[in-house]
Structure formats: structure tokens, C-alpha cells
Amino acid sequence: MSAVEVAVAALRAVEPEDLRVLRAIEALMARYEHVPVEAVVRASGLHPREVSYRLDRLHEMGLIRRWIGPYVGYVLRVAGHDLLALNALVKAGILEAFGKPLGVGKEADVYDALMPSGRRVAVKFHRLGRVSFRQTKRVRGYTGEGVWADWYIRSRSAAKREFKALRLAFSSSVSVPEPIARNRHVIVMGMIEGAELADVELLDPEPVLADVLLNVRKAYVGAGIIHADLSEFNIIIRPDGSVLIIDWPQFVYKDHPNALELLRRDVLNVLKFFRRRFSVVVGEDSALSFVMGLRDDVPGLYFGGSSTT
Ligand SMILES: Nc1ncnc2c1ncn2[C@@H]1O[C@H](COP(=O)(O)OP(=O)(O)OP(=O)(O)O)[C@@H](O)[C@H]1O
Ligand SMILES: [Mg+2]
């Protein structure tokens, strides 16, 4: 069972006291590498016997990890973190039912779900911080955080960043999934349909390239942001042929010290892909000037009249 499946199954079974204990462990992970039982007792305000019963249950459900050293300590497992986020989203009236995986990968798991209104949405669980031991030590060195707190903090901050980028982009009419809600490391967004550019065969590639460049321009000029990880894997071609740009956690603002370098890399990634796959050749300098808003055309591409920002 995946972490999300464990969390969804547990969501039906957890009781308020389980959640109290789980939240106490979550909060204390900032201070302890392994949260001692006494600290959970103090933070939860529950009777020690109750806490011990809840810890056994949560452990059984696969939501927390038990560590036995000089003392007994606990940390959240990924499924426990997922459960806290899902529970909050259900309580907030955002999610009602949970569906199947849409994409399960290295840095995120994406599932479909329903809102109480019946609207279909995509739920993205950020999965970061599965770092090497050396990196972990380095991170611990300056934050003082434990090994487990590391994935926890990084996944959350990736979700925060991505949600921020989606809001900025969406409100500047960049073609991105609609941001709906975020809790912890989980983002709820509009469901999109289509396939990654890497997987589609285009009969008429030029308008698609123009559409991508136009969206990069709207993000830069309109929203003041740069995707910074743009590639054929993060560009979705919808059934009607229009594009969507997804996967924004590594975005930067246009005043970032490396902004231009990152913008250039994004544009070059796209141009190289269109050249290699579709033999569409477009000048790099004019494409870059176009996305920066310094010119309104790119020789060889048609932007359909009033389309530039
Ligand atoms: N809003 C959405 N609606 C429908 N499917 C989506 C949505 N967002 C993402 N997906 C699906 O999930 C996949 C992964 O999403 P995304 O690129 O945002 O995450 P990632 O960090 O690259 O994850 P991975 O490590 O799995 O590639 C996408 O290729 C797509 O198939
Ligand atoms: Mg991706």
C-alpha cells in the first residue's frame, strides 16, 4: 500500500484522540529527532495511559514510526503526514472523496479526488527530502532539525512554493491548473486533462510552441515569475491542443539573481525539444526577447493577433 492509501484508509478509522496525539508528535518533531512519550503526554494533555493506547494504534495503522534507543520515541511516517493534511482538507470542506493515482513519481504523488460540490480535482502530495546521509547531516548541521524533520520541512516548503506560483500564474492568466487549497505538503488544484508534451505526436507543432512561449511570457511579464524547471515533461497538451504548464515548486521571481539565466534555460529547453522532435527551428535571441516582453513577435511563429500581453 502506498502512503496515500494508508492515510485514506486511516482517515476513516481515526478518532479525535488519535489526531491529538498525531498533531502533538508533528509539532514536537521540530525539537526532537525522536519525540519522547512524556513530551507527547504533556503536549496532548491526555492521560499517559490514553497516550500509550493511541501511540500503539497509530503505530499499528502505519502512521508513526517507533524508535527504541535509550528512550522510546516516535516520529510521523509519510502516511501520518498525509493523513493530517487530508483530514484538515476534509474538515475545511475542500475534499470529500478520494480516487485513483494520476501520477506517482519521485518528487510527488498525484491523485484524483472530489470536492463536496462534485467537482473533480487533483491532489498533489509533495515528496521531498529523500536525501542522502551526507546531505541530511549538512541540513541538520545548520537547522538543528532531525533526520525525519528534514523530509517533512522540505515537502511542505515545496508545496508552499508551488501553491504560491500557481496563484500568481493563474491570476495573470498563465495556463496552469487552478490552485484551490493547500495544507501542509498537499496541494489541491483543478483537474487537467491531457498528456505530457514528451508523449504526444504533434501534426502542427508551431502553434504549440507559440502557445508555450506566450505562457512563459505571461508568467514573466504578468506574474513576475520564472518556472525554472521547464521541459517537455512539465508541459501538458490538452485534448483541444492548448498547453498547460505544471509543476512549479522551483519557480523564482524575476528579481532573483539568476533570473535571466533560468529564463534562458527554460526557453532553450523548449526550443531544443521542438527542434529535435519536430524540426521546428526558432531563433533563441528573438524567443528570449519575446518572453521578456522586449518584442512582440518571433520570426516563424504566429501569435494570433491580440495574444501578446
Ligand atoms: N492538476 C492536475 N490534474 C491532473 N493530473 C495532474 C495534475 N497535476 C499533475 N498531474 C499528473 O501528475 C504528474 C506529475 O505531476 P508534476 O509534474 O506536477 O509532479 P512531479 O514533481 O514532476 O512528480 P514526478 O516526480 O512524479 O514527475 C503529471 O505528469 C500529470 O500526469
Ligand atoms: Mg513533473
151-180: average pLDDT: 96
Per-residue model confidence as pLDDT tens digits over 60-94: 999 999 999 999 999 999 999 999 999 999 999 99
CA of 124 to the centre of ligand 1 (A): 7
Interatomic CA distance for residues 182 and 101, integer angstroms:
18
Ligand 1 touching residue 75 (CB < 6 A): no
Alpha-carbon distances, residue 88 vs 40, 83, 265 (angstroms): 20, 8, 38
At 130 the pLDDT is 56
CA of 30 to the centre of ligand 2 (A): 29
Give 181's strand partners.
188
- Residues involved in catalysis: 229
pLDDT bucket at 151, cuts 50 / 70 / 90: confident
Residues in Cβ contact with 161 at an 8 Å cutoff, skipping those fewer than 6 apart: 248, 249, 250, 251
Residues in Cβ contact with 200 at an 8 Å cutoff, skipping those fewer than 6 apart: 237
113-140: average pLDDT: 76
Please give all residues whose CB falls under 5 A of ion ligand 2, grouped by chain where several chains appear. 234, 247
At 148 the pLDDT is 54
CA of 17 to the centre of ligand 1 (A): 34
pLDDT at 141 over 80: no
Pocket test for ligand 1, best of 111, 124, 157, 193 (most atoms within 8 A of CB): 124
Burial of 10 (0-12, 13-18, 19+ CB in 10 A): buried
Ligand 1 touching residue 103 (CB < 6 A): yes
pLDDT at 306 over 60: no
Contact 57, 172 (CB under 8 A): no
At 138 the pLDDT is 47
Ligand 1 atom with the shortest distance to the CA of 108: 23
Name the residue type at position 122.
A
Per-residue model confidence as pLDDT tens digits over 250-274: 999 999 999 999 999 999 999 999 9
For each of the domains in the chain, give its residue range(s) and CATH number, in order of start: 3-188 (3.30.200.20), 195-291 (1.10.510.10)
pLDDT bucket at 152, cuts 50 / 70 / 90: confident
Ligand 1 atom with the shortest distance to the CA of 234: 17
108-117: average pLDDT: 97
At 142 the pLDDT is 37
Which of 44-48, 137-141, 243-247 has the least mean pLDDT?
Answer: 137-141
Ligand 1 touching residue 247 (CB < 6 A): yes
Protein residue with its CA nearest to atom 17 in ligand 1: 247
* pLDDT mean across residues, the chain: 92
Ligand 1 touching residue 202 (CB < 6 A): no
pLDDT bucket at 145, cuts 50 / 70 / 90: very low
pLDDT at 244 over 70: yes
Q: How many residues does the chain have?
A: 309
Per-residue model confidence as pLDDT tens digits over 294-305: 999 999 999 976
Ligand 1 touching residue 105 (CB < 6 A): yes
Pocket test for ligand 1, best of 110, 234, 243 (most atoms within 8 A of CB): 110
Q: Please, which contacts does 9-16 make with residues 24 or more away whose CB atoms are closer than 8 Å?
A: 9/61, 10/61, 10/62, 10/63, 10/79, 10/83, 11/83, 11/86, 11/87, 11/90, 13/61, 14/61, 14/83, 14/87
CA of 247 to the centre of ligand 1 (A): 7
CA atoms within 13 A on the CB side of 235: 29
144-161: average pLDDT: 78
At 235 the pLDDT is 98
pLDDT at 144 over 50: no
272-284: average pLDDT: 97
How many percent of the chain have pLDDT more than 70?
92
Which of 2-11, 145-154, 169-178 has the least mean pLDDT?
Answer: 145-154
The label of the residue with cell 501520477 reads 103
At 128 the pLDDT is 87
Interatomic CA distance for residues 178 and 162, integer angstroms:
12
At 105 the pLDDT is 74
